[in-house]
Amino acid sequence: MAMFPITGYFKGDFVPLLVAVDTDDNMDQIGKAIAMLAVGKRLPKPKGKQKYDVFFNGEKLAPESTLGELMEKEEILPLQFFEARFRETATADA
């Protein structure tokens, strides 16, 4: 458990963000941390509770995976770039 600085970007925003996350944070938590700095400020806030997807090097990360687990697999440097997006939900055809 250690604080770690990343550069976060929320799709549709134009500002890269300095975000302090914890190595024990999962991607849902990291996506929310990035969104809190952009959604409702420079991006419209959608109705209802929203979830987020996080991407690293263009690859969508599993929501339950932690930053620490990713760091064991790949070299993650301070201020590494992570992108968050609104999670797309599948809608059933009626």
**Class of domain 3-86 as given by CATH:** alpha beta
Max Cα-Cα span within the chain: 47
User: Does residue 94 carry a pLDDT above 60?
Assistant: no
pLDDT of residue 23: 97
* Res. 4 pLDDT band, cuts 50 70 90: very high
Please give the Cα distance from 35 to 2 (Å, whole number). Answer: 21
